[in-house]
Amino acid sequence: MTNVKRCWVFVLGAVLFQIWLTGPGIAEVVDRIVAEVNNEIITMSELQMMVKTIAAQSGMKPKDAESRAMQLQMLNSLIDRKLAKAEAKRRGITVSPKELDEALSRFKQRSNIPNDEALAKALSQEGISFKEFKQQIADQMTQDRLLTVTVGSKTTVSDAEVRRLYDQRFKQGGSQIHLVSVKMPFPPGASQEQKSEMNRKADALIKMTKQGESMTAAASKLGLNATDLGFVSQGDLDPRLAEYLEKLKPKEVAPIETPEGYQLIQLAGRRSGEARPFEEVAPEIRRMLMEQEMQKHFGEWVKTLREKAHIKIML
């Protein structure tokens, strides 16, 4: 495929891929236990899911991601997650159904998804059930609360740090870009012919947009769904992706290939963003810096859990 094969692979971050990259792995694997963590186990399928996720996010070659050293690193990350989840349960940290519903509503609003039915349809195309997705949101909320309880009091951010980041990233304002996305995942256990067919379909969609067809209409004709992501600040994107999109002309489509399939992103338009006053953006900057610092302390705290745990690695 002339267009897709020449594309770059980028870290797209939460703006484009969060709901897709955290789902179950695409490839079928023969399950076996690769680690014991106290009374719980981690299976090969869980590890493979993480391998594919990290490879897609980082642009890493699949062979590199599947190396023993990388698998061991990812397995240790899964062990840390198991320990943190068990500790949250021990402390009675929970998320109520009402809180979960409110979080899902905010997610749908940010993602321009009108209702649960549309969200469930988008998730099903990625092999994720609505129930699984809700559990992922609940788990993340639980871990965020555990983080606040365990290390929140140890974390401080000075006014000088807030001002410094404002001067670096917010003082000059910035441009915003309007993005429309089409996700084209490979079917589970896809054959080379199925991948080639997806390749041809991606080429066809790009050709239709070049001939003046809208991204949404072209996707519909090919049996695909286009998602309007609205205007996104370029400062919120991964720097490599922002640099790539900066080179696109309005209405041009960027093909991105990952181990899971193709992502087609259209630059629907641009607009200038005005600089926000320091007083307005300071609370947001402080919260962001606090989260970064808490994550550092949280990593150190999880190490203490490992020292007390029964861990057996069988990779």
Q: What is the pLDDT of residue 306?
A: 93
Give the model's confidence band at 173: pLDDT under 50 very low, under 70 low, under 90 confident, else very high. Answer: low
Q: What is the pLDDT of residue 3?
A: 42
Give the model's confidence band at 12: pLDDT under 50 very low, under 70 low, under 90 confident, else very high. Answer: very low
Which is higher by pLDDT, 107 or 267?
A: 267
CB 249 within 8 A of CB 197: no
Give percent of the chain above pLDDT 90.
20
Give percent of the chain above pLDDT 70.
80
Q: Which of 234, 233, 231 has the alpha carbon at shortest distance from 244?
A: 234
CATH 1.10.4030.10 in the chain: give the residue spans. Answer: 13-157+286-313
In CATH, the number for domain 174-273 is 3.10.50.40
Residue 56 to residue 259: CA distance in whole angstroms: 6
Residue linked to tokens 């365990």: 150
For residue 59, CA distances in Å to 144, 168, 184, 219 come to 27, 27, 17, 25
Q: Which CATH number fits domain 13-157+286-313: 3.40.50.150, 3.40.190.10, 1.10.4030.10, 3.40.1190.20?
A: 1.10.4030.10
Q: What is the pLDDT of residue 25?
A: 39
Q: What is the pLDDT of residue 231?
A: 80
Residue 41 to residue 273: CA distance in whole angstroms: 49
Chain centroid to CA 261: 15
pLDDT at 68 over 70: yes
Q: With a threshold of 0.75, does the pTM exceed it?
A: no
pLDDT at 53 over 70: no
pLDDT in tens, 222-253: 888 888 888 887 777 777 787 788 888 889 99
pLDDT at 169 over 80: no
Give the model's confidence band at 126: pLDDT under 50 very low, under 70 low, under 90 confident, else very high. Answer: low
CATH 3.10.50.40 in the chain: give the residue spans. Answer: 174-273
